[in-house]
A and B are shown apart, each in its own frame.
Chain A
Amino acid sequence: MRTLLNIFWLGLKEIVSLLSDVVMVIFLCYAFTMAIYVQATGISTQVNNASIAFVDEDSSALSKELFNAFLPPYFQYPKYIEARDVEDAMDKGLFMFVVAIPTRFESDLRAGRNPDVQVNVDATAMKQAGIGADYIKNIINQRTSTFLKRTDEKAREPVNLVVRRMFNPNGISAWFTSVVAIINQVTLLTVVLTGAAVIREREHGTLEHLLVMPLSAFEIAMAKVWANGLVILIATGFSLFLIVKTVLQVPFAGSIPLWFCGVVLYLFFTTALGIFLGTISRSMAQFALLIVLVIVLMQLLSGGTTPIESQPKWLQYITFFLPSRHFVSFSQVIIYRGGGLSAVWLQFLMVTAIGLGFFVYSLVLFRKSIAVTK
């Protein structure tokens, strides 16, 4: 009872302190609204505005038809270039794709032959290159057959493959990127907020003051966990309902309470990590340098930027101990795929276990850290 009251009062103090920091509050609001929106709608993994050029050695009605088939938003309006300029233009990075239509292209097709179309792809532009090349093939094939048969009807193959994109039928990137953006903000801000709170208390000597009072390190740390966790939890909820659901219209397939349970567990981990980093760094400046490395690692390897399945096998074993990976993973399961507890219990367990590890270790270090400063 005594312990609970102490944790409550200390946490309340933490919230009052945070709210009196106007710059921080404004930054929090920005980070969970505008920043999420910008990230969600900014970078698209779809082909967008791709630069394309044509080498037209046929100059037929069909080749002109094909030239005019490439339109925004997927492609920029194509440009004609000469065959001898292809290498040079691509070396300079002027175009991602150069389509070369050979001489007698139309007449060969009409004669029932299958002439070659060359598609040059700048394969250093990874994400767009592969998908873009497929788009180009589809567009050319479709236009060619409509043009020659004067009909939109496509000849059906003996077996028809119907691809259903589950959970995101139109492949809208914002559905995915908005949630990843929230996850990234949660990771960054919780760690920074909690870690900075620990260091500030130590640098101002208030931590010493608390440790001399009839309080335990557990109570002091736990107060920081719930107070900072709660602030971020509210911001996350706000962001999810306002930005993700209302503005971006992302449907929520699974159970919202279940997802928030996961968020709470993850917040326990991030606050514990913040306390840990705040305890091991000797000054705010060291903390800042450390944070840059830790956050980059947590965000890049979480699966939000690159699918976990694409990581090398040995790296996947390592990232299994990265709670941010499990956060991204159970968010995908719950939000898009509509999975229940049975599908995410392992992720929940891992996040909790690792969070507990950091929390306990920080408590051990807590008193020692007083000796380290000054």
Chain B
Amino acid sequence: MASSASQTVNKPVVSIKDVTHRYGNVVALNGISLDIPSGLMVGIIGPDGVGKSTLMAIVAGSKKLQQGKVTVLGGDIADASHRGAVCPKIAYMPQGLGKNLYLELSVYENVDFMARLFGLSAAERPVRIKELLDATGLGPFPDRPAGKLSGGMKQKVGLCGALVHEPDLLILDEPTTGVDPLSRRQFWTLIDDIRKGRPSMSVAISTAYMDEAQKWDWIVAMDAGKVLATGTPAELMQRTNTKDLEQCFIALLPEEKRSGHKEVTIPPRSDAKSEIVIEAKDLTRRFGAFTAVDHVSLSIERGEIFGFLGSNGCGKSTTMKMLTGLLPPTEGTATLFGQSVEAGSIEVRNQIGYMTQAFSLYGELTVRQNLVLDARLYHIPPEKAKVRIGELVKKFGLEAHIDALAEDLPLGMRQRLSLAVAVLHEPEMLILDEPTSGVDPVARDSFWELLIDLSRKQGVTIFVTTHFMNEAMRCDRISLMNSGKVLACDAPQKLIEERGTATLEDAFIGYMEDAIGDAAAKEEDKDKAAASAPPAGQPATQPATSEHHTGWFSLVRMLAYTNNETMQIRRDPVRLAFAFIGSALLMLIFGFGITSDVEHVRYASLDLDQSPESRLYLEQFAGAQRYFTLTPPIRSEEEALKRLQSNDVSLVVEVPPDFGRDFRRGSKPDISAAVDGADPFRGETIAQYAKGVHDTLMHDPGSELSSGPDKYTAKFQTRFMYNPTFESIYTIVPSVPSLLLVLIPAVLMAVSVVREKELGSIINFYVTPTGRLEYLVGKQLPYIAIGMMNYIILVIMARVVFGVPIKGSFLMLTVSTLLYLIVTTGIGMVISTFTSSQVAAVFVTAILTILPTTQFSGLLQPVSTLEGRAQFIGSIWPTTYYMHSSVGAYTKGLGPDFLLQDIIFLACCAPILLIVSIASMRKQEK
């Protein structure tokens, strides 16, 4: 990695002029101008939140340029046609381990997907992917799901995906953060090998590890949205007169940020042995077949600063969770202050202060509210709490922010607040899980000042995890941890001496290689990787990247998305269950649950007459068995009210005293029917039934109570068309699919797009030549297929479970269903363009589809009875038309000619929704 000064005069591959980028009120980039020379390994350094990622995303064309001008590979990146032309030449790996990978997909499938998007032919793909996987050492595990890989391996898969199309500019955003030192070293060797094969390729990398950047050709130091300095590492260190890049960076910071910063010095611990406060024996934790922590033993003395050094996912956090009693160990024991943690006694927990990995305070509360809440939960008396909070706020420099919301604090301040909360109750032990990740070097040093003060002056035992080597150097003793095992445990200096290496990192790598077993075999692997790297750079097959599929539409890219989506959903049990079990379950609930059939109404009689006439009258009710079910008779008015109140009966027929005598006299006595009207629909129906029973009796020529046929009345012939038995199942069962086939496909479609936004894999759409049409239709196809399968399930259920067959044209209904599904997935598509979280996507889709479907499309109220706005919504909502076809085909037995107009309407909706989605879908992040 020769860094000669002559290389810096190379013509720039990226030229940035006056670029400013804002997120709301926050300025991420503040008028940056910068030329990045080509053919070099360029490092962008600085802590989290200074604008590194924003800058890289803009250069990669993934994020929309707000202000200024950025020229990449000889063209304006704000120009969509230039972006389209150069995107096959740029490779971008976003921040976050495996952020643009599909975790359900295997290693091979992930790389293959990228290869398809970049238009590699079916013949080239397997060859190219094999080369890359072998070169990165992933060759042995092509079938392992990306979600089950370690952080380092995920990054290698990401790199394979980025390199599959031979880029001229490789942009890597913090590729090694949280990766173990050995994988990190392998990663950089790999990049070097690739650069050897393609010397013209420019690489831009950001990193939080300054020591890594020290070896690169050219450095851009950034802080608070501005460039502090640029040049070769040697130049910069010379300029600031410092020995390493981290100190150099601190020296480059503006005066006010540096003020108060001094070298962290650690007073030595007294040698006297003190009692052991944390003791773990053979602590093991398994998650299914995976062993996260494997027989870890350790003992920590009072007042010691004990460090845990290891990569993401090595088992550090799991160990901590077991020590704090959050997780029960599978095997082994842990004791704090000689007491078992599992017993979880309140006294033990009162002695612990804990800081979780992520910021774990309430962002919606202010600094003071957070502190007060914890004081209360630890039952510190109010006066004492006030004093203590005052002290801490002063000592931790939080005065200026005391009434600010915790979520508005800068990262460094938040970490201090977390520490303040953790020590509020003066614990004897502090357990800190990666307290300083992402914090800038100055804030990190001042944080350590506080820790040292606690340890040395107050005798607090501190147990801290980190993945920064220089932080580990500050601990009294450290444990090196890798894949669940402790590799070594001693004072950092002793570990270095023991391995005879220059740095702790080298010592760590040495231990790791020992642990892997045969270091020789490893060496051989490395050689192999180096040997196969040149072909990785210059493949034997000439990739025809831009020749094949540069047009606005490519079937290969669209099907790549279809294939990808199908595999994802097949491996996601939750969404799969929602798609199939959900629809079947809802069909059962709706089919059996919604009915307007009122039958077997429980009723009782209150016969105050007990005459032959009264018995005759009441027998008529007992005879109508489909409608009425007789219950024990009632004796009094009070009892009648009581039984109506408690819902025991819904109808009381009361025959007054002297009914028989009055009837014989012809004085036309009254009979009273008290109907429970609490549910008005049911009450109305019962009232109608009672009148019906009465009328039948009155006009029955054979009955003694009858009056004979009446004069001047017509006879009614009521034809209940389509549903002669008048059972609601014949209406509900055909209607429910119209609701389910809009709700479920729309929700799934919206989630599939928004999920990519939330997880970050949408970046693959931003930075590849994929068009909007290819992306959307590609994702839509699997859901249309799922919808059609649902339709078949529902047809079978209707026939078998509910006994409702299709009387009309099955073929036409199927055609209509297919179109309807294109439309409903289209609705999900439109919703996905304006929602940004999966939760919002689910709720918005559910509300927007259920409401018009139940209210305005004929499910509860016939469309012909709607008025005004409701009628308008009903007339444009696609479900109205599908509902008509569905009820028409099942119950009305309508032929094709009646379904045709529904089909025509649905066919017109489909392209409109697609056009709207394409128009509102962004090809860049805002």
Q: Name A residues whose Cβ lies closer than 8 Å to a Cβ of B.
A: 2, 5-6, 9-10, 13, 16-17, 20-21, 42-43, 45-46, 48-51, 76, 90-96, 105, 109, 112, 114-131, 133-134, 137, 140-141, 144-145, 148-149, 155-169, 171-173, 175-176, 196, 204-206, 208-215, 283-289, 291-293, 296-297, 300-301, 305-307, 309-312, 315, 329, 332-333, 336-339, 342-343, 367, 370-371
24 A-B contact pairs sorted by A residue (CB < 8 Å)? A9-B376, A13-B373, A16-B365, A20-B365, A49-B866, A51-B864, A116-B715, A124-B730, A158-B666, A161-B671, A161-B694, A205-B358, A208-B326, A212-B324, A213-B349, A213-B374, A213-B378, A285-B755, A289-B747, A296-B586, A307-B679, A309-B598, A311-B592, A332-B679
User: Could you tell me if B722 and A122 are in contact, using CB atoms closer than 8 angstroms?
Assistant: yes
18 further interface pairs, Cβ-Cβ under 8 Å (given A159-B668, A311-B595): A16-B369, A93-B884, A96-B862, A105-B714, A123-B726, A124-B891, A125-B861, A128-B861, A158-B705, A159-B669, A160-B670, A171-B680, A172-B680, A205-B359, A289-B574, A291-B842, A337-B676, A343-B642
Minimum C-beta distance from A311 to chain B (A): 7
User: Could you tell me if A285 and B838 are in contact, using CB atoms closer than 8 angstroms?
Assistant: yes
User: Could you tell me if B596 and A309 are in contact, using CB atoms closer than 8 angstroms?
Assistant: no
Bound complex: CA of A21 vs CA of B891, how far in Å? Answer: 49
- In the complex, which residue of chain A has the Cβ closest to the Cβ of B646? A343
CB-based A-B contact count at 8 angstroms: 362
User: Could you tell me if A43 and B715 are in contact, using CB atoms closer than 8 angstroms?
Assistant: no
User: Could you tell me if A164 and B672 are in contact, using CB atoms closer than 8 angstroms?
Assistant: yes
> Which among B327, B721, B837 is the interface contact of A121 at CB below 8 angstroms?
B721
Known: A166-B674, A311-B592. A128 touches B862 (CB 8 A): yes
> Which among B574, B676, B710 is the interface contact of A286 at CB below 8 angstroms?
B574
Minimum C-beta distance from A190 to chain B (A): 16
Binds A, one of B103-111, B151-159, B170-178, B681-689: B681-689
Bound complex: CA of A133 vs CA of B586, how far in Å? Answer: 31
Is B647 part of the binding interface, using a Cβ–Cβ cutoff of 8 Å? yes
Tell me which residues across on chain B come within 8 A of A21, comparing CB atoms: 364
Bound complex: CA of A49 vs CA of B607, how far in Å? Answer: 41
- In the complex, which residue of chain A has the Cβ closest to the Cβ of B600? A309
User: Could you tell me if A128 and B865 are in contact, using CB atoms closer than 8 angstroms?
Assistant: yes
Known: A112-B711, A124-B730, A292-B842. A306 touches B721 (CB 8 A): no
Bound complex: CA of A124 vs CA of B865, how far in Å? Answer: 14
Minimum C-beta distance from B427 to chain A (A): 10
User: Could you tell me if B598 and A2 are in contact, using CB atoms closer than 8 angstroms?
Assistant: no
Minimum C-beta distance from A109 to chain B (A): 6
Minimum C-beta distance from B834 to chain A (A): 16
Tell me which residues across on chain A come within 8 A of B379, comparing CB atoms: 2, 5
> Which among B595, B601, B647, B866 is the interface contact of A329 at CB below 8 angstroms?
B647
Interface residues of B in 651-696 (CB under 8 A from A): 663, 666, 668-685, 687-688, 690-691, 694
Known: A168-B680, A285-B755. A162 touches B672 (CB 8 A): yes
Minimum C-beta distance from A12 to chain B (A): 8
Tell me which residues across on chain A come within 8 A of B843, comparing CB atoms: 288
Bound complex: CA of A46 vs CA of B683, how far in Å? Answer: 11
Bound complex: CA of A318 vs CA of B461, how far in Å? Answer: 57
Tell me which residues across on chain B come within 8 A of A125, comparing CB atoms: 731, 858, 861-862
The interface on chain B, measured as residues whose beta carbon lies within 8 A of the other chain's beta carbons, has a size of: 133
Tell me which residues across on chain B come within 8 A of A137, comparing CB atoms: 716, 718
Is B904 part of the binding interface, using a Cβ–Cβ cutoff of 8 Å? no
Is B892 part of the binding interface, using a Cβ–Cβ cutoff of 8 Å? yes
- In the complex, which residue of chain A has the Cβ closest to the Cβ of B422? A209
Tell me which residues across on chain B come within 8 A of A131, comparing CB atoms: 684-685, 688
> Which among A95, A158, A300 is the interface contact of B594 at CB below 8 angstroms?
A300
Minimum C-beta distance from A42 to chain B (A): 7
Minimum C-beta distance from B141 to chain A (A): 23
> Which among A158, A176, A297 is the interface contact of B698 at CB below 8 angstroms?
A158
Bound complex: CA of A155 vs CA of B709, how far in Å? Answer: 12
User: Could you tell me if B593 and A311 are in contact, using CB atoms closer than 8 angstroms?
Assistant: yes
> Which among B346, B585, B698 is the interface contact of A293 at CB below 8 angstroms?
B585
- In the complex, which residue of chain B has the Cβ closest to the Cβ of A18? B364
User: Could you tell me if B376 and A209 are in contact, using CB atoms closer than 8 angstroms?
Assistant: no
Minimum C-beta distance from A334 to chain B (A): 9
User: Could you tell me if A214 and B719 are in contact, using CB atoms closer than 8 angstroms?
Assistant: no
- In the complex, which residue of chain B has the Cβ closest to the Cβ of A21? B364
Tell me which residues across on chain A come within 8 A of B755, comparing CB atoms: 285
User: Could you tell me if B663 and A158 are in contact, using CB atoms closer than 8 angstroms?
Assistant: yes
Bound complex: CA of A267 vs CA of B688, how far in Å? Answer: 38
- In the complex, which residue of chain B has the Cβ closest to the Cβ of A155? B710
> Which among A9, A115, A163 is the interface contact of B377 at CB below 8 angstroms?
A9
> Which among B590, B595, B674 is the interface contact of A310 at CB below 8 angstroms?
B595
Bound complex: CA of A306 vs CA of B591, how far in Å? Answer: 11
> Which among A17, A96, A109, A297 is the interface contact of B364 at CB below 8 angstroms?
A17
Bound complex: CA of A289 vs CA of B861, how far in Å? Answer: 28
User: Could you tell me if B673 and A163 are in contact, using CB atoms closer than 8 angstroms?
Assistant: yes
Bound complex: CA of A315 vs CA of B589, how far in Å? Answer: 9
Bound complex: CA of A367 vs CA of B354, how far in Å? Answer: 17
Known: A208-B326, A305-B594. A9 touches B726 (CB 8 A): no
Tell me which residues across on chain B come within 8 A of A176, comparing CB atoms: 678-680
User: Could you tell me if A159 and B698 are in contact, using CB atoms closer than 8 angstroms?
Assistant: yes
Minimum C-beta distance from A255 to chain B (A): 12
Is B297 part of the binding interface, using a Cβ–Cβ cutoff of 8 Å? no
User: Could you tell me if A124 and B887 are in contact, using CB atoms closer than 8 angstroms?
Assistant: yes
User: Could you tell me if B888 and A288 are in contact, using CB atoms closer than 8 angstroms?
Assistant: no
Bound complex: CA of A41 vs CA of B493, how far in Å? Answer: 78
Tell me which residues across on chain B come within 8 A of A205, comparing CB atoms: 356-360
Is B720 part of the binding interface, using a Cβ–Cβ cutoff of 8 Å? yes
> Which among A50, A144, A286 is the interface contact of B714 at CB below 8 angstroms?
A144
Shortest 4 CB-CB contacts between residues of A and residues of B: A205-B360, A285-B838, A123-B723, A45-B681
Known: A17-B362, A370-B321. A306 touches B594 (CB 8 A): yes
- In the complex, which residue of chain A has the Cβ closest to the Cβ of B898? A91
Bound complex: CA of A49 vs CA of B593, how far in Å? Answer: 27
Tell me which residues across on chain B come within 8 A of A91, comparing CB atoms: 888, 892, 894, 898
Known: A123-B722, A310-B598. A163 touches B687 (CB 8 A): yes
User: Could you tell me if B377 and A46 are in contact, using CB atoms closer than 8 angstroms?
Assistant: no
Bound complex: CA of A137 vs CA of B590, how far in Å? Answer: 32
Is B497 part of the binding interface, using a Cβ–Cβ cutoff of 8 Å? no
Is B363 part of the binding interface, using a Cβ–Cβ cutoff of 8 Å? yes
- In the complex, which residue of chain A has the Cβ closest to the Cβ of B598? A310
Tell me which residues across on chain A come within 8 A of B671, comparing CB atoms: 159-162
Known: A49-B867, A144-B713. A160 touches B678 (CB 8 A): no
User: Could you tell me if B713 and A173 are in contact, using CB atoms closer than 8 angstroms?
Assistant: no
Minimum C-beta distance from A343 to chain B (A): 4
Is B791 part of the binding interface, using a Cβ–Cβ cutoff of 8 Å? no
User: Could you tell me if B865 and A96 are in contact, using CB atoms closer than 8 angstroms?
Assistant: yes
Is B575 part of the binding interface, using a Cβ–Cβ cutoff of 8 Å? yes
- In the complex, which residue of chain A has the Cβ closest to the Cβ of B601? A309
Bound complex: CA of A312 vs CA of B751, how far in Å? Answer: 36
Minimum C-beta distance from A154 to chain B (A): 10
> Which among A123, A134, A158, A206 is the interface contact of B360 at CB below 8 angstroms?
A206
> Which among A10, A157, A285 is the interface contact of B668 at CB below 8 angstroms?
A157
- In the complex, which residue of chain A has the Cβ closest to the Cβ of B680? A171
> Which among B376, B578, B598, B602 is the interface contact of A289 at CB below 8 angstroms?
B578
Bound complex: CA of A157 vs CA of B706, how far in Å? Answer: 9
Bound complex: CA of A129 vs CA of B726, how far in Å? Answer: 9
Tell me which residues across on chain A come within 8 A of B688, comparing CB atoms: 130-131, 134
> Which among B582, B597, B666, B677 is the interface contact of A168 at CB below 8 angstroms?
B677
Is B60 part of the binding interface, using a Cβ–Cβ cutoff of 8 Å? no
Tell me which residues across on chain A come within 8 A of B574, comparing CB atoms: 286, 289
User: Could you tell me if B360 and A204 are in contact, using CB atoms closer than 8 angstroms?
Assistant: yes
Known: A49-B867, A134-B688, A163-B691. A117 touches B663 (CB 8 A): no
Minimum C-beta distance from A215 to chain B (A): 6
Bound complex: CA of A321 vs CA of B838, how far in Å? Answer: 31
User: Could you tell me if A165 and B687 are in contact, using CB atoms closer than 8 angstroms?
Assistant: yes
User: Could you tell me if A115 and B719 are in contact, using CB atoms closer than 8 angstroms?
Assistant: no
Tell me which residues across on chain A come within 8 A of B711, comparing CB atoms: 112
Known: A140-B714, A212-B326, A367-B326. A305 touches B668 (CB 8 A): no
